Amino acid sequence: MDAYLCVSIDCECDKGEGWRLKKPLSFAGITTGIADRLQPLFRAYGAKPTYLLSPEVLRDPASADCLRQLQGSAEFGTHLHGEFAEPDAFEPDETTAFQCNYPHPVERQKLESLTDLFRAALGRPPRSFRAGRFGIGPHSLQFLAELGYTVDSSVSPLKDWSKQGAPAASFRSAPTQPYWPVPNMPELRAREPGPLLEVPVTILPSRFQRLPFIGARFEPRWLRPTRGTVESLVAVARDERTRTKNGPVVLNCMFHNVEIMAGLSPYAKNEAEADAILNRLAGLLAYARAEGIGVVGLTDIAAIFSETEVRVPEPA
């Protein structure tokens, strides 16, 4: 197979305008969004999603029970919003913390707490991870490897989160294809395979980036169904397949579970907007099926790399 698609979904409690949490905490984005909207869609296309679970989801008995009973293929991993993880866990109005800003022992403890929550809720250890707000730092990958993870998916190529408050989370020069990262510099490719594979989110430069004077103003293009059209989403996938030579191409689409529910995120204020996001995702899955692209979990990519010792090259 010359291409694979991962659909990696950050799974959190219900939000609203400005990503402010619903109070008291609610989880319709799990019990209805995943169970009744997302998972049936993936089953219809024979696709395997990766649900990356935040601490508050794992603590909620109804959400954990819902996830354990999902029909069809799915991978579960973890997603750290540090406010919800011990030590010093609390319910914020918004999840604004970057894990790279915690003191190193605290970051390690929060990752360990999250991993223990996952094991208690689902009865097995997690293997895949994404940081909340993509906020990994120089110690994160080492901690994840020590805790038994095999895949990280926190790197967002072309993005620099310094202005948002995370000077350590800069990925402007990161590869767009999976790679074994330098442990203390996640945006750099290591010379040899390591214990943890980086599967970055698929983000490409704007087609207008080379325009003089104004090119830098155009945002990179994400493989994300949140906005745009089916055609623009498929164009990102096609462009990445064209750019990457001499090896299997890995596409990594991301979004949040709450985006496909009306009123639970800033992106879908009503049913029509929520349905549009779901329909764009369906269009991407239809493209994958038509092109013979396997829709697999994040840890499946690590297994493919380990078994074949293939290094996906950088785009030409």
- Of the chain, the percentage scoring pLDDT greater than 90 comes to 89
pLDDT of residue 312: 46
Q: Residue 266 pLDDT more than 90?
A: yes
Q: Is residue 316 part of a domain?
A: no
CATH of the domain at 243: 3.20.20.370
For residue 169, give the 3-state DSSP assignment. Answer: coil
pLDDT of residue 247: 76
Q: Residue 309 pLDDT more than 80?
A: no
Q: Is residue 313 part of a domain?
A: no
Give 305 or 312, the one with higher predicted confidence.
305
Residue 209 to residue 157: CA distance in whole angstroms: 15
pLDDT in tens, 133-186: 999 999 999 999 999 999 999 999 999 999 999 999 999 999 999 999 999 999
Q: Is residue 314 part of a domain?
A: no
Closest CA to 68 of 5, 122, 147: 122
Q: How confident is the model at residue 306 (pLDDT cuts 50, 70, 90)?
A: confident
Give 145 or 218, the one with higher predicted confidence.
145
| 278-295: average pLDDT | 98
Domain containing 42 equals 3-308
Q: How confident is the model at residue 308 (pLDDT cuts 50, 70, 90)?
A: low
Question: pTM for this structure?
Answer: 0.95
CA distances from residue 132 to 154, 182, 187, 267, 275 in whole angstroms, order as listed: 8, 21, 17, 17, 25
Q: Is residue 315 part of a domain?
A: no
Residue type, 118: F
3-state helix, strand, coil in the chain (%, to 5): 40, 15, 45
Q: Residue 85 pLDDT more than 70?
A: yes
Q: Is residue 203 part of a domain?
A: yes
Q: How confident is the model at residue 310 (pLDDT cuts 50, 70, 90)?
A: very low
Q: Is residue 214 part of a domain?
A: yes
pLDDT of residue 84: 98
pLDDT in tens, 92-102: 999 999 999 99
* Number of domain units in the chain: 1
Give 316 or 117, the one with higher predicted confidence.
117
Closest CA to 223 of 208, 197, 202: 202
Q: How confident is the model at residue 207 (pLDDT cuts 50, 70, 90)?
A: confident
| 274-299: average pLDDT | 98
Mean pLDDT, the chain, integer: 94
Q: How confident is the model at residue 305 (pLDDT cuts 50, 70, 90)?
A: confident
pLDDT in tens, 32-75: 999 999 999 999 999 999 999 999 999 999 999 999 999 999 99
